[in-house]
Amino acid sequence: MFIQPIPMWWGSNDNWAYLVVDDESRDALIIDPANPGEVAPVLIAAVQSNKLNLVAVVNTHHHWDHAGGNEEILAALINPKLDVIGGKDCEGVTKTPSHENLSRSCDAWDPIGYVYS
């Protein structure tokens, strides 16, 4: 697994988005892309140069500095069909993990072959 941090609002909020890549399948997730102006160019370059298959946008929670850029990032990627995974209050969410698809013992989730908890 490879994780690329992408800084957002450097010097003010110092938030980060994260590109998470499965080394074998080349499937990838972008986590918390709240500032599309800073995230999209880095994300597009990484997807194109590394031949990644971006499968979803994931939000850790609904605050604007984590989930505020979902719809803009989809437009920048020209892929409105990507799943946006997060809580029901996240902008543009299409899937919300629930207790049915999470392990009760550790609240883990396996979107691209790794378990997140």
More confident position, 99 or 38? 38
pLDDT at 15 over 50: yes
What's the half-sphere exposure (Cβ side, CA atoms, 13 Å) at 84? 26
- The Cα–Cα gap between 71 and 91 comes to 7
**pLDDT for position 101:** 53
**pLDDT for position 105:** 42
All structural domains of the chain: 2-101 (3.60.15.10)
Spatial contact of 8 and 38, defined as CB atoms under 8 Å apart: yes
How confident is the model over 76-112, as pLDDT tens digits? Answer: 987 778 899 998 899 899 988 776 655 444 445 566 5
Q: What is the pTM of this model?
A: 0.80
How confident is the model over 2-13, as pLDDT tens digits? Answer: 999 988 887 666
- The Cα–Cα gap between 16 and 109 comes to 21
Report, as an integer, the average pLDDT of 60-65.
88
Give the strand order in the sheet containing 27-31: 2-8, 15-21, 27-31, 53-58, 83-85
